Structure 1
């Protein structure tokens, strides 16, 4: 499990969008894996099992965050009242991480697993629990969208 930490952290940051949130996601993944180690099936890949745990936690956390955002407004939102906001909207995205965050979740997952983590289409499809063709479609759409975002911002 220790050998997987750098890869897990990189994937977590890619999903979460921020290093601190990624570290929290990575920690939750390790904690869950350790408390549920009896659910790991011998003879299967530990990395795929860990990625699936991380993905499930991330989905759960995203849903919870979405529900909270429908109820509460971030305290920073009050600082923007009356502010123009045009400057923030016009800042060019020249950072791949920022462009990645603009991709839909499924596409970002596919790009991260295949292009960043180096998993085969079959392995990545198993991690996200979808057919290989679906993963391939998400990857192609994600890669194309990423290129358009980066070209438009250049």
Structure 2
């Protein structure tokens, strides 16, 4: 067991979680600049005076949940418009990896986040459900739908290249 002063040092671990937190924020916002703003707000809240994480469980779960909550508050639980991309490519992403990222974030709200948490971050349905505020069976359904959409998009992309 770690001493109490070591167990709750969010700023020490936050830096290593930034790429994963940004990737998650991108699935929530579908826009690179909005994702960056969301990550910044999450970091500010996480390192602020009121603790976001009590030292139990995974820090990233608390950060993902905070990101989702902040996004929901910002949107007032409204659905986002279908095309927030405006033709912008997320900065720094090109080629195949950029195309895959575009396919993921172009999925409807909720599908991309569920896919990222389960398929990319290797979270259980229960963990992903807790982060997204959904039941595990809803996560399973969203994941199946997301995988089917990605397979369809990938085959469409392959057919266009041929």
CA contact (8 A) 1:17 1:97 kept: no
| 1:105 equivalent in structure 2 | 109
Aligned to 1:89: none
Secondary structure, aligned partner of 1:95: helix
**RMSD (Å), alpha carbons:** 2.7
Unmatched tracts of structure 2, length 5 or more:
1-13, 87-97
Match of 1:135 in 2: 139
The structure where helix makes up a greater share of residues is 1
What is the correspondence of 1:73-84 to structure 2 with a 5 Å cutoff?
none
CA deviation string 1:70-114 (max 9, x = no partner): xxxxxx9xxxxxxxxxxxxxxxxx922222233221111101111
C-alpha change, 1:25 and 1:42, in structure 2 (3 Å) is same
Count of matched residue pairs: 130
Under a length normalisation based on structure 2, what TM-score does the superposition of the two structures give? 0.67
1:47 aligns with 2:60: yes
1:121 paired with 2:134, answer no
What is the CA-CA distance between 1:125 and the residue it aligns to? Answer: 1.3
| Cα distance between partner residues in 1 of 2:102 and 2:52 | 36
**Whole-angstrom CA distance in 2 between matches of 1:116 and 1:16:** 18
SS at match of 1:6: helix
Equivalent pair of 2:30/2:106 in contact (CA under 8 Å): no
CA contact (8 A) 1:107 1:138 kept: yes
With over 3 angstroms needed to count, the CA separation of the structure-2 counterparts of 1:135 and 1:19, relative to structure 1, is: same
Deviation at 1:64, TM superposition (A): 8.1
- Larger Rg, first or second structure (1 or 2): 1
CA distance in 2, matches of 1:114, 1:17: 18
